[in-house]
Each structure stands twice: as C-alpha cells, then as structure tokens.
C-alpha cells in the first residue's frame, strides 16, 4: 500500500464535497489500472491524503502529481527553486508571512520575512498587516515562492515570493476589472451559484489560482462586491475576498 499527500487541500465548509470531487477524479484515472483507492482524507494541514494499493500505484501517483501536485520533502528542497503553497496564519505575526508548502515533518512552513515583503511590494516602511491588507494576502491564497535558504537543524525555511506571483499581483493592480477571490470551492459549485443568482454573464472568466481556489474576473461594468452579495449566501462559509484595483492603488499611494 502507498500513501501519498497531495498539494491540493480540502478545507472549510465544503471540505467533504471537495474530497468527493477528488475521489471521483482518482477513481476515473484508475478505472483502467490495477490500483484501488482505499482511503481518502486530510492531514492536520488540510492536504488531501490518499491510500492506494495495486500494481499500478506508482503510475497513478505520477498522474495525480500532474493533476493535483505532490507535497515536497524537506530533504529535497532546493534554494533558488520555486515551489507552490498557500498563505497560512496571515496577520498573526508581524515579522513575516508563513507559506504552507505541504511539508508535514516538524510542521514546517516557509517564512517570507517582512523586509523581503516590503521590498517586493515596494512598501519599505509599512507594517505587514498594512501590506497584506493592501494586496489581499490572505489565508489559503495560493502563492509561488522561491526558496532562499533551508536550515534543517534549526527547522527554518526562508523564502521570497516568486517573480510569477509578483507579476500576477501587478497585472491585477493594472487591470481595471475587479476580482472576487473564492477560496475552498470547486469550479462547478461556483458556476452553479453564479447561475442561480443570474450573474453568470457578469463574469468574464473564472481563473484557477490553486486546485480549489479561484479568481472571478468581473466585467468592467460589474462590481465584485455585488457578486459577493449575490453568491455569498449560496456558498455560505466559503472565504471570499475582494480585489479592487482602485482600492489597492489608493492604499498603496497612501503608503508611499
């Protein structure tokens, strides 16, 4: 039997539905293979854990790695290499942001120190709380980071935001369209909520940020706050956050 931990996470009000979505996907991928899904659940960091048995365990593991990502082991983390993760405990400490890379050993998260965040977001004298509020750096937001150093004996990983993530935020800032970030949902659930609330036509595209995290890009004439008010009750308990370029620029300008 093989146990694998996916980079994808199931959390929040619809954790069970997300797990069933993954179960269905795994069974579909395994339909013509000699492998069986024995168990599916989550670990303490909400990463999806699968137990597989059969001759084709390794082959299915590789397929799942392509589809959902596999968490890295701390022993193989490489400096100057990009990894995917999600922000955790945003705002709980003032000296930086922690990013969950899925490493279960020692409950180890990567720290992006405040001085690096200040430099990357060009807010040299601001507090972490102010920067996170300005750029909507919230819990469960998928991010890519570049590893700066790994100190295994001290149980420390330091990183910076990958250039791809900084570029994404810059593109969002310079785009006139507002966005609604929906974290912890399937795309199908979002589409149903938009349809029921008669707002499907107000969304240009549903951008995939993570495995179950999305950015709803509004038409230029549509307010993201209105979409939030409409679909929020239909996806009760799912964290949603507004990314409004004009407000981001206002907060950024007030700090420079």
Quickly list DSSP for 189-215.
HHHHHHHHTT-GGGEEEEEE-SSSEEE
pLDDT of residue 52: 96
Q: How far apart are CA 193 and CA 195, in angstroms?
A: 5
95-127 burial string, b = 16+ CB within 10 Å, else e? ebbbbbbbbeeeebbbbbbbebbbebbebeebe
- Check if the beta carbon of residue 48 is closer than 8 Å to that of residue 184: no
C-alpha closest to that of 110 among 120, 98, 92, 96: 98
Model pTM above 0.85: yes
Q: How far apart are CA 252 and CA 256, in angstroms?
A: 7
Burial class (CB in 10 A: 0-12, 13-18, 19+), 76: exposed
Asked whether residue 231 carries a pLDDT value surpassing 70, the answer given is yes
Q: How far apart are the two ends of the chain, measured CA to CA in Å? A: 56
Q: Was domain 74-164 assigned CATH 2.40.50.140?
A: yes
Q: What are phi and psi of 168, to 5 degrees?
A: -60, -45
- Do 74-164 and 171-254 have matching folds? no
CATH code of the domain made up of 171-254:
3.30.70.250
- Residue 165 token pair: 């993530």
pLDDT tens column, 19-57: 999 999 999 999 999 999 999 999 999 999 999 999 999
pLDDT tens column, 57-74: 999 999 999 999 999 887
Listed by start position, the domains of the chain span: 2-68, 74-164, 171-254
- What's the pLDDT band for 194 if we cut at 50, 70, 90? very high
pLDDT of residue 106: 67
């Amino acid at each position: 039997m093989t146990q694998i931990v996916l980079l994808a996470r199931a959390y929040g009000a619809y954790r069970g539905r997300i797990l069933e979505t993954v179960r269905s996907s795994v069974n579909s991928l395994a339909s013509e293979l000699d492998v069986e899904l024995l168990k599916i659940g989550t670990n303490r960091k909400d990463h999806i854990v699968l137990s597989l048995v059969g001759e084709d365990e390794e082959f299915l593991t590789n397929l799942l790695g392509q589809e959902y990502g596999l968490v890295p082991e701390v022993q193989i983390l490489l400096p100057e290499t990009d990894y995917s993760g999600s922000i955790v405990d945003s705002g709980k400490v003032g000296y930086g942001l922690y990013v969950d890379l899925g490493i279960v050993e020692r409950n180890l998260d990567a720290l992006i120190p405040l001085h690096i965040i200040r430099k990357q977001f060009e807010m040299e004298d601001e507090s972490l709380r102010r920067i996170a509020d300005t750029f909507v750096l919230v819990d469960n937001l998928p991010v890519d980071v570049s590893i700066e150093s790994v100190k295994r004996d001290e149980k420390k990983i330091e990183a910076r935001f990958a250039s791809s993530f900084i570029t994404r935020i810059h593109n969002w800032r310079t785009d006139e369209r507002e966005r609604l970030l929906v974290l912890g949902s399937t795309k199908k659930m979002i589409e149903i909520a938009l349809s029921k609330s008669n707002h499907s036509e107000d969304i240009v595209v549903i951008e995939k940020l993570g495995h179950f995290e999305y950015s709803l890009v509004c038409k230029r004439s549509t307010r993201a706050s209105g979409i939030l008010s409409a679909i929020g009750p239909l996806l009760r308990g799912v964290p949603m956050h507004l990314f409004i370029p004009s407000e981001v620029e206002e907060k950024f300008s007030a700090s420079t």
